[in-house]
Amino acid sequence: MTFVRGSTILCTVKAKAADQLFYRQFGRLLAEARRKKGISQELLADELGLSRTSITNIEKGRQPVQLHSLYCIARLLGVELKDLLPSPQIFDIPQPSERLSVSRSEWLETMNVTLPKGLLNASKRHRTRSPKTT
C-alpha cells in the first residue's frame, strides 16, 4: 500500500502490516476514549447494534470498523472523529535496508539479559556425526 499526498509518496508498506498497525492503534484510542467517558463495552455495543465481543475485537485491532459506525462511535463518545484516528506516523515503518543490525551481546545488554558465565562469548557448537558402524 502506498500513501501519497499530491505527487509526493509519503510511505509504502505492506497492506496487511499497515492495516494491523492502523486498527491496533485505532482500537487503543477507542478504548481510551470509551473509558474516559465511563461507557462500558456492553453499552457501546448496544448503542451500535454490535456484540460486546465485537467491541473487544475492535479495541484489540482484530476487527475493522465500518465507516458509518466510526461516526456513530465518535458521536456516542462525544469526541471528534479525528481524535479516534491514528497519527499518519504509524505508517512510517523503516524499510528493510533502514533496520538496525545489532550484535547478540548488544541485544542482550539492551534487553538487560544476563546469561550464565561462559555463554555470552561461546561460539556456536556444531554437531558432528559419529562414524558409521558396520
Question: Does residue 83 sit within a domain?
Answer: yes
Domain assignment present for 121:
no
- Scan for cell 534487553, then name that residue: 111
Q: Which residues contact 120 (CB under 8 A, 6 or more apart)?
A: 105, 108
Among residues of the chain, what percentage have pLDDT more than 90? 40
Residue range 32-41, pLDDT digits in tens = 999 999 999 9
Element (H, E) at 52: helix 52-59
How far is the C-alpha of 26 from the C-alpha of 61, rounded, in Å? Answer: 7
Q: Is residue 63 part of a domain?
A: yes
Q: Give the structural domain span for 82.
A: 2-91
Contact (CB, 8 A) for 83 and 5: no
- Domain-embedded: residue 107: no
Q: How many Cβ atoms from other residues are within 10 Å of residue 99's Cβ?
A: 9
Flag whether 122 is in a domain: no
Three-state DSSP class for 78? Answer: coil
* CATH code assigned at 56: 1.10.260.40
Domain assignment present for 20 = yes
**Within-domain flag for 59:** yes
User: Would 130 be classed as within a structural domain?
Assistant: no
Q: How many domains does the chain have?
A: 1
CB 78 within 8 A of CB 37: yes
pTM: 0.57
Sign of the four-CA dihedral 103, 107, 108, 109? positive
CA 65 to chain centre: 16
pLDDT in tens, 90-130: 666 555 555 567 777 776 777 677 776 666 555 555 555 66
